[in-house]
Amino acid sequence: MQLPTSEDIVDDLAFFDDWEQRYQYIIDLGKQIPGLSEEARTPDKLVKGCQSSVWLDYSKQDGRFQFDVDSDAVIVQGLLVLVLSAYNDKSGQDILKFDIDAYFKALDLERHITATRGNGLRSIVGKIRQIASVA
């Protein structure tokens, strides 16, 4: 699946008048990704610090990371797409240089999700950045 870019998501969310429509857009994005098989949902891929269960897997090809994610919560699945749009198909250096705070601010996201979801989002970002810095 070809993910929208982070710029596309910022533009798309700005199109909607209210957050109910934006939430629906985010949920719809999450429904488009295939998720992980039951066999791939292993404890070592479970991201700690998330309220919902979130699994993160990755591969690296030609110096670029490909991330696969899954969650047991529909809205979280959509939030994962927002993160993937920022980091998927990027080099480790590009991942580490990307200003995720500015991206989240442009989405006006953290004002509209619960603190626990925000912390979970930060845990996912931290895990991806850790992978990028080591691999």
Domain count across the chain: 1
Instruction: For residue 76, give the CATH number of its domain.
Output: 3.90.1010.10
Question: How confident is the model at residue 116, as a pLDDT?
Answer: 82
Range of the domain at 17: 6-134
pTM for this prediction: 0.90
In a domain, 49, yes or no: yes
50, 79, 82, 100: the catalytic one is 50
Locate 131 and state its tokens: 């992978």
74-87 vs 100-107: helix crossing angle, rounded to 10: 130
Locate 121 and state its tokens: 């989002």
Q: Which residues contact 12 (CB under 8 A, 6 or more apart)?
A: 4, 25
In a domain, 11, yes or no: yes
Question: How confident is the model at residue 42, as a pLDDT?
Answer: 94
Q: Which of the 8 DSSP states describes residue 90? A: B
The secondary structure element, H or E, covering residue 33 is none
Specify the higher pLDDT residue, 1 or 31: 31
Mean pLDDT, the chain, as a whole number?
91
- Give the residue-averaged pLDDT of 16-32: 92
In a domain, 1, yes or no: no
Known active-site residue 50: yes
In a domain, 64, yes or no: yes
Question: How confident is the model at residue 56, as a pLDDT?
Answer: 95
Question: How confident is the model at residue 1, as a pLDDT?
Answer: 63
Question: How confident is the model at residue 46, as a pLDDT?
Answer: 93
